[in-house]
Amino acid sequence: MVVMAGGFLADANYRASLVSVPSIVGRPADVAEQSARLSGLAFQVSGRRFSAEVPEGSVLYQEPVAGERVSRGAAVQVVLSAGSEKLIMPDVVGMSLQEARDALREHGLGVVTDNIVSRAVAGTVLGSFPASGAEVSTGATVRLSIAIGGASADSLLPYDLHDLVIALDPAPAREGSIDIALDVARRVRSLLEASGARVTVTRSLTQALPSDAARSSTVASPTPDAMVGLSLSGLGGVGMTAVVVRSTDATAASDAESVAKTFTASVRLPGQTVNPYRTDDDAVLGKVLAPGVRVLLGDANDAADAARFGDPNWADLVARALYRALGETFATR
């Protein structure tokens, strides 16, 4: 009985000597060390790892975990964050999707995918955004374009647009900004001309910035069957919006609404904000009696919109959606 009582007493004394490990993950190293020492524990840094979530110098992992009871004086081992690593985007084009995922995850990069109809082997990476060679940070998400076989809702049908005149008005870009309106206009023009349409564009990259009146004059000569304007949104106009140009001609208004409706339905891209189409006046297209739609591509001051402006794959998808909208409305059937 004396031995048993002594055992119970020793066990009680041992339990009383244990302390609970504090939660120090996410705390700056000096604060974490102070918290450990106040609990009667030692503090040891066992390494550093890159992290996009935990600030540099703060605790990324701890062992033992918070709440575990250990002997007073035991050491809490921690790994500190080395901050977000800057690295060069690796080239994953031509890899299988799984190979690319593995390669990117080794660098701490996330992956999302777009499916692209292609003759390439299904599952092959056709492109990436950011592109290879660009600087990226640990924790960033990379979008991969993946080949799929056969037809899909995203495949582009050819339209017969012979004898159709279409005017494109890419609004002038602000100095120092990406000329995304002109970039999309060039892509739409190539698709339209390949289908037999005659296309006029109100400005080129080498022109001085033309006035609204000069652009209206270009749109009107020759008289177009349809007009498409491309602009950045005003401040706070996040996402993409098709704006039907207000017209006194009922047929023009109806055709313009058809273009806006089809475009809005076709341009549902991953992560892309697409606003409902609306009707408004237009300083350039509103001077010409023809169906007109102005596409507001997004706000250059919004981080997500601005990132898309530098993505050629995004510009191509917008151009294809516009081509589809014009083809569905005006093509010879």
pLDDT band at 152 (very low <50, low <70, confident <90, very high): very low
**Which of the given ranges, 46-50, 92-96, 243-247, has the highest pLDDT on average?**
243-247
Tokens at residue 121, please? 């082997």
- List of E strands, 258-330: 278-280, 292-296
Q: Which residue carries 């503090």 as its tokens? A: 43
Nearest to 13 by CA among 71, 64, 76: 71
Higher-pLDDT residue of 138 and 185 is 185
Query: How many C-beta neighbours within 10 Å does residue 313 have?
Result: 18
pLDDT at 167: 97
Supply the pLDDT for residue 176: 58
Cβ 200 vs Cβ 224: under 8 Å: yes
pLDDT value of residue 296: 96
Residue 175 has pLDDT above 80, yes or no: no
Q: What pLDDT is recorded for position 121?
A: 74
pLDDT at 202: 95
Beta strands in the chain (DSSP E): 18-20, 42-49, 59-63, 69-71, 75-81, 86-88, 110-117, 125-129, 135-137, 141-148, 165-170, 198-201, 226-231, 241-245, 278-280, 292-296
**Residue 15: which pLDDT band, with cuts at 50, 70 and 90?**
low
153 falls in which pLDDT band (50, 70, 90)? very low
Q: Are strands 226-231 and 292-296 parallel, antiparallel or unpaired?
A: parallel
Structure token pair of residue 283: 């300083």
Q: What was the pLDDT predicted at 209?
A: 81
Question: Of 222 and 157, which is predicted with more confidence?
Answer: 222
Specify the DSSP class assigned to residue 287: G
Domains of the chain and any CATH numbers: 16-81 (3.30.10.20), 86-148 (3.30.10.20), 165-330 (3.40.630.40)
Q: Which residue is associated with the tokens 């304007």?
A: 229
> Hey, what are 279's tokens?
């009707």
pLDDT band at 333 (very low <50, low <70, confident <90, very high): very low
**Cα-to-chain-centroid distance, residue 89:** 16
Residues facing residue 76 across a β-bridge: 43
Task: Give the mean pLDDT of the chain.
Answer: 85
Instruction: Output 175 or 70, whichever has higher pLDDT.
Output: 70
Q: Which of 108-122, 144-158, 160-174 shows the highest mean pLDDT?
A: 160-174
Mean pLDDT computed over 70-79: 93
Q: Which pLDDT score, from 0 to 100, does residue 119 have?
A: 65
* Three-state SS at 159: coil
Give 181-225 as a DSSP string: HHHHHHHHHHHHHHTT-EEEES--TTS----HHHHHHHHHSSPPS
Q: Is pLDDT above 50 for 211?
A: yes
- Name residues whose C-beta falls within 8 Å of residue 123's C-beta, 6 or more positions apart in sequence: 96, 97, 146, 147
Q: What amino acid is encoded at 199 in this protein?
A: V
